[in-house]
Amino acid sequence: MGVIAALILFPLLTAFVILLTKNDAVRNMTVRVGAAGTAVLTLAVTGLYFKNGIAFSVRWEAAADFLMAVVEAAVAVYIITIGIRNKRYVVSVLSFVQTAAVLIFEFSGKAGTEVEKAILFDKLTAVMVMIVGLVGSLICIYAVGYMKTYHQHHKEFKERKSFFFSVLFLFLSAMFGIVLSNNLTWMYFSWELTTLCSFLLIGYTQTEEAKANSFRALVINLAGGLAFGAAIIFIGRMYKTMELSVFTSMTPDPVILLPVFLLAFAALTKSAQLPFSSWLLGAMVAPTPTSALLHSATMVKAGVYLIIRLAPLLGNNAVGKTVTYVGAVTFLACSLMAISQSDAKKILAYSTLANLGLIVICASIGTQGSLWAAILLIIFHAVSKSLLFISVGSAEHQIGNRNVENMDLLMGMSKGAGALHDDRHCRNVSGSLWNAHIQMGGYEGFC
């Protein structure tokens, strides 16, 4: 129990320390130590509980509920304020309605609901913990060098690296909360924290485009959060339980399909399935570590993780078929859109959406074979897509843009600083001309 609590709280503590650290060298060291510590705790928890799993109650559950309610209220006040300040009133309304409803249920309607096992660690949890802890930690380490170069290339953006790194670790802590929580209210709390973190990360540069895209992500994910909150209230009042494992073991009758639909809707918004995919495409304006996290290890995986958990209640019923069709349309449409793009990040973004659609199809069918296929796809996609986004970010720094038509320049660069690719019949150029060429982002004048 202690090591699981440490896994959730250690990234959170690291986030606070980084936020208060202004010295670059100290902050970079703190990020590396925090990432390494998170990875070690991930391996420790997985090694201890992978074989037999564990499920347990929490002695300080009432205190945790109260603390989470306070933080939920504070987050809602912040979102409502920025919504009004930026004239995004839909954001303010959605945040107020869902938070007010959930808090009223917490303090007045939750009486009689049971939570015997607030934390659950099984083999699916182990897979998700490994993805979040290892892939997320490596992305954080990569981000140290990336952000230094990023601000050298983009001096027009205000440097807020302490804020950026602290949000990354807060994101990891929230993801651990989602995958480890069997208590639906705790999962909802962590779910909303990832929504807030994605908003802050997408809007990091504070340009008008970044603000617009971050608010689009916030609106879509708040709509999903509202559905999640409504499902919690329905399940608590109707079935007197807040345990996800208990809920998914029930018979999928017509009544229970309503909260299943609400939870599936929340999952589809978080995993950016059509028609909710625009927020994930807009996330490309953020620095590359944000794209790697959102598209591979964290945000989008929360949605498909929830659908896998709901698999016993899906399958051959109206909700299951609807989720399968949504995944199928997303897979087909985004696969076609991916091959028509020349921007490398857009190709990877559409590819992410297509892969998520395929995972949703496998998870919603609900058979044992399809569920294993979904889990394997989650693993392969998390590792490969995070590496691909990191590679695109590095390539962009080298050639000055992320157009795939220009990336054969990298072959020339691999032959030496100043040598262009021979099969384009290009000549050697001096370092100063090479730099000018890179800034132009093309071949003109050299080939």
For Cα atoms 188, 8, 379, give the angle at the middle one, nearest 5 degrees.
Answer: 80
Query: What does R_g of the chain's alpha carbons equal in angstroms?
Result: 23
DSSP letter for each residue of 106-151: IIII-TT-B-S-SEEE-HHHHHHHHIIIIIHHHHHHHHHHHHHHHH
Q: In the prediction, which pLDDT does 355 show?
A: 87
Which residue type, as a one-letter code, is found at position 251? T
Mean pLDDT of the 189-198 span: 92
Identify the DSSP state of 253. Answer: -
Orientation of helix 368-399 relative to helix 123-130, angle to 10°: 0
Q: Which of 177, 175, 168, 178 is nearest to 201 (CA)?
A: 168
Contact residues for 40 (Cβ-Cβ < 8 A; gap 6+): none
Q: In the prediction, which pLDDT does 419 show?
A: 41
Residue 383 or 103, more confident: 103
Q: Around 56, how many Cα atoms within 13 Å sit in the side-chain half-sphere? A: 10
**Stated pTM of the model:** 0.85
Mean pLDDT of the 252-276 span: 90
Q: How many CB atoms lie within 10 A of CB 8?
A: 21
Q: In the prediction, which pLDDT does 276 show?
A: 87
For the chain, domain boundaries:
2-313, 415-440
Residues 38-86 have pLDDT tens digits of 999 999 999 988 888 888 887 787 888 889 999 999 999 999 999 999 9
Distance, in Å, from the CA atom of 418 to the CA atom of 433, rounded to the nearest integer, reads: 8
Q: How many CB atoms lie within 10 A of CB 84?
A: 12
Whether residue 365 is predicted with pLDDT greater than 60 in this model: the reply is yes
3-state helix, strand, coil in the chain (%, to 5): 75, 5, 20
Distance, in Å, from the CA atom of 244 to the CA atom of 310, rounded to the nearest integer, reads: 9
Burial class (CB in 10 A: 0-12, 13-18, 19+), 208: exposed
Residues 293-320 have pLDDT tens digits of 776 656 778 888 999 999 889 888 889 8
The mean pLDDT of the chain is 83
Q: Are 115 and 60 in contact (CB under 8 A)?
A: no
What are the C-alpha distances in Å from 64 to residues 70, 118, 140, 268, 357? Answer: 10, 11, 28, 28, 35
Residues of the chain with pLDDT > 90, as a percent, come to 39
Whether residue 109 is predicted with pLDDT greater than 70 in this model: the reply is no
Q: In the prediction, which pLDDT does 298 show?
A: 67
Residues 329-364 have pLDDT tens digits of 999 998 888 888 777 777 888 888 888 899 999 988
Residues 134-185 have pLDDT tens digits of 988 988 998 888 888 776 666 777 778 889 999 999 999 999 999 999 999 9
Q: In the prediction, which pLDDT does 287 show?
A: 81
Whether residue 385 is predicted with pLDDT greater than 60 in this model: the reply is yes
